[in-house]
Amino acid sequence: MLQGIGVSRRFGGLKALTDFDFLVEKGQIVGLIGPNGSGKTTLFNVITGFYPADSGKVLYHGKDITRCKPYEIAKLGIARTFQIVRPLLGLSVLDNVTTAVLYGRENIGSMAKGRGRALDLLRFVRLDAKKDVPGQSLVAAERKRLELARALAIKPEFLLLDETFSGLNDTEVADAIKLIFKIRDELGLTIFLIEHVMKAVMGTCEKIFVMQYGVKLAEGKPEEVSKNPAVIEAYLGKKKHA
């Protein structure tokens, strides 16, 4: 469904992403892990058109989307969340989602209809009780759910989640995992997620890519990846031999 072939991106002398290949199939939940600064968010920014790729291609349903602009990517059905959650602070929770419904793939003209759909989505992420509260007065976990509702509001087929679980406590992580499965199973979305919270990655993903210094280190099922010596080394450092 979403495929990258030799995707590369550099910032000046820094190679943020080198020859990265990936493939996410329809209906999968796929993880992208790696130490801080390894280029995970850069990959998402390239996919969603925020950074142009220096070389390589991103294919969506077999169509080249490498040169598409961010709003065109959204219209194609690829939604994303941001690592540092970015609710539209001055707007109410409902308005945050409504705007995305209006301009999303359904392209609704009527405000009332848009608001109705937005409210459905807020119920889906269980944020409807806070619909009239401004975005800035939400706590971290609620902001993440708002971000999720806003991403879902464009009626995507494909969802890119950038560290949705970080900063959540154990109960909240468990809730969020349930929500991810609900999004896939009830809404039929394919999900590609960046994550540091191992419990969440192991609990949700059927395939994981591991990245370091912009290069793919490993790829496979969670249990395989977690035993891979190169991955262990990247995360924990080399074992010292006495």
Partner 1 sequence: MDEIQEKPKDHAQTRSWGKYIYFPVILVLLFAFPLVKPPLFFLTLFFSVFMYVGLTESWNLMGGYTGYISLGHIAFFSTGAYTTAVLMNRLGASPFATAILGGVFAAILAALVGYPVLRLKGAYFTISSLLLAVVMQLIFMNWEFVGSSTGLWYKLLPVSIETNRLIFYEVMLVLATVITVVVRWVEKSKFGAGLIAIREDEDVAKTMGINTPWLKMQAFILGAFLAGWVGGVYGYYMSYVHPEVTFNINTSLLILLMSFFGGCRTWTGPLLGAVVLSLVNQLIVTFIGAEISRILYGLLLVIVIIFMPDGVMQYVKGAFMRVKG
Size of the site for partner 1 (CB under 8 A): 41
- Quote the DSSP letter at residue 2: E
Report the C-alpha gap between 176 and 188 in whole angstroms. Answer: 17
**E strands within the chain?**
2-11, 14-24, 29-33, 55-60, 63-64, 78-80, 158-162, 190-194, 207-212, 215-220
Residues 20-59 touching partner 1, rule: CB under 8 A, are 48, 50
100 makes contact with partner 1 (CB under 8 A): yes
**Do 136 and 143 form a contact (C-beta atoms < 8 A)?**
no
84 makes contact with partner 1 (CB under 8 A): no
| Among the listed residues 58, 149, 153, 183, the single contact to partner 1 using CB under 8 A | 153
| Among the listed residues 27, 37, 116, 229, the single contact to partner 1 using CB under 8 A | 116
Least Å from the CB of residue 83 to partner 1: 12
**Residue with smaller CB distance to partner 1, 69 or 178:** 69
Strand duo 78-80 + 215-220: pairing: unpaired
Least Å from the CB of residue 19 to partner 1: 27
62 makes contact with partner 1 (CB under 8 A): no
CB contact set of 106 (below 8 Å; sequence gap of 6+):
117, 155
| Among the listed residues 51, 82, 213, 235, the single contact to partner 1 using CB under 8 A | 82
4 makes contact with partner 1 (CB under 8 A): no
DSSP labels for 115-169?
HHHHHHHHHHTT-GGGTTSBGGGS-HHHHHHHHHHHHHHT--SEEEEESSSTT--
Helix (H, G, I), strand (E, B) or coil at 222: helix
159 makes contact with partner 1 (CB under 8 A): no
Q: Which residues bind partner 1 (CB under 8 A)?
A: 48, 50, 69-71, 74-75, 79-80, 82, 86, 88-92, 94-95, 98-100, 102-105, 108-109, 111-116, 119-120, 131-132, 150-151, 153-154
